[in-house]
Structures are given as C-alpha cells and as structure tokens.
Amino acid sequence: MSDVIHAIQNRISIPRLSAPAPGPDQLQTLFSCAVRAPDHGRMRPWRFVAMQGDALVRLGLAFEQAGLAGDPTADDSKRARWRDMPLRAPMVIAAIARIKPNSKVPDWEQVVAVATAVQNIQLAARELGFGTMWRTGEMTVAPAVLEHLDMAGTDRIVAFLYIGTPEGDARAPEFQPLDECVEYRS
C-alpha cells in the first residue's frame, strides 16, 4: 500500500501531547505542506500563528479573559481551567481564515481551503513523528481571543491545532461502514 494511503487511513487525533514540539525546520515542512492545500481562486486565505512557551501562557490569559466575559463570577478553578487549556500541548497553531470578499469564491470555500491546509499539517506532522489534535469550541469566536490574535472582522479561527510528541500508545483508527456514506452510480 502507498505511504500516503497508509498515513491517511491511520491518522488519529492525539489529545495527550508533550514536548518536544516541532523545531524550525520541521515547522517549515509542515507549513509548506499547508500552503499546498486546494485553494479555489488562489485566494491564499490562510494565516497560521504557531505558539509555544510564553505565547501559550499569554493565549491562556486571553482564554481566561474570554471566559470571564461570559461568566464574570467564575471561581478560581474555572479561571485556571481556561488558562491551562493551551498548555495541553507544547505548541498550538491557530489556523485562521482571512476571508476576502470574492464573487467566485464564497466565504465558506475559503474556510474549507484553510481546513484542508490543517489536514495537510496533521498528516505531515504524523509523518514527522508528531501527534495533533484539532480543537475549536467557544474560544474560536470569543472577542478577547480574536483581539489577542490580531484578527480583523471577517477572519475566522478554523482550528486550534495542538501539536507535540504523542504520549502513550496510539489507539486503532475507527472506520465508519462505507455503506452509510457512499453511493455508487453508473
């Protein structure tokens, strides 16, 4: 079987990730794979913010601010939980869609292009021995987080991609029965 098919069929999300994160050369490889994603109209809608070290602590403070905006009386443990969210991996890559109005390429197609770039990163990371976990949730739309990431009005966070070295044994991938989702017509 080809390496590509094997990599795709065996990709799984890995929530428990520790150091090391990818180094500069490895990140170069990952992002060069990202920008080869299918992209209608060559809009290049992606922007990636790779955060590690203090940048993750600062992202956690933005998460706390975002949480407090919705729940101003949150207790210390809840505040700590928000602050610690980005610390679940040694690196978090925010994958952002910079949506530009275009009569031929609707907004959703630009978001999809960024999503395929995220998948490229996931597969390439696996090949380099790293694990990833694609997360979104309420923090992707919280004004404090958008401001922290210097996002303009129409930008969308497509993923917080957690990346690092897998902890523990990998589980087996699950396969949906194909007759649930595939039709053949001829």
Ligand X SMILES: Cc1cc2nc3c(=O)[nH]c(=O)nc-3n(C[C@H](O)[C@H](O)[C@H](O)COP(=O)(O)O)c2cc1C
Question: CA 117, CA 31: separation in Å to the nearest integer?
Answer: 9
Question: CA 125, CA 58: separation in Å to the nearest integer?
Answer: 25
The minimum distance between CB 67 and ligand X, in angstroms, equals 15
Nearer to ligand X, 117 or 133 (CB): 133
Using DSSP bridges, classify how beta strands 91-97 and 131-135 pair: parallel, antiparallel or unpaired: unpaired
Question: CA 152, CA 103: separation in Å to the nearest integer?
Answer: 20
Question: CA 108, CA 79: separation in Å to the nearest integer?
Answer: 33
DSSP conformational letter for 133: E
Nearer to ligand X, 19 or 170 (CB): 170
Nearer to ligand X, 54 or 174 (CB): 174
The minimum distance between CB 103 and ligand X, in angstroms, equals 26
The minimum distance between CB 134 and ligand X, in angstroms, equals 4
Nearer to ligand X, 93 or 133 (CB): 133
Other C-beta atoms closer than 10 Å to the C-beta of 50 total: 17
The minimum distance between CB 13 and ligand X, in angstroms, equals 4
Question: CA 105, CA 166: separation in Å to the nearest integer?
Answer: 37
The minimum distance between CB 181 and ligand X, in angstroms, equals 14
Nearer to ligand X, 54 or 112 (CB): 112
Using DSSP bridges, classify how beta strands 131-135 and 156-166 pair: parallel, antiparallel or unpaired: antiparallel
Q: Which amino acid is at 121?
A: I
Q: For residue 15, give both structure tokens.
A: 């929530």
User: Which residues of this chain interact with ligand X, rule CB under 6 A?
Assistant: 12-13, 133-137
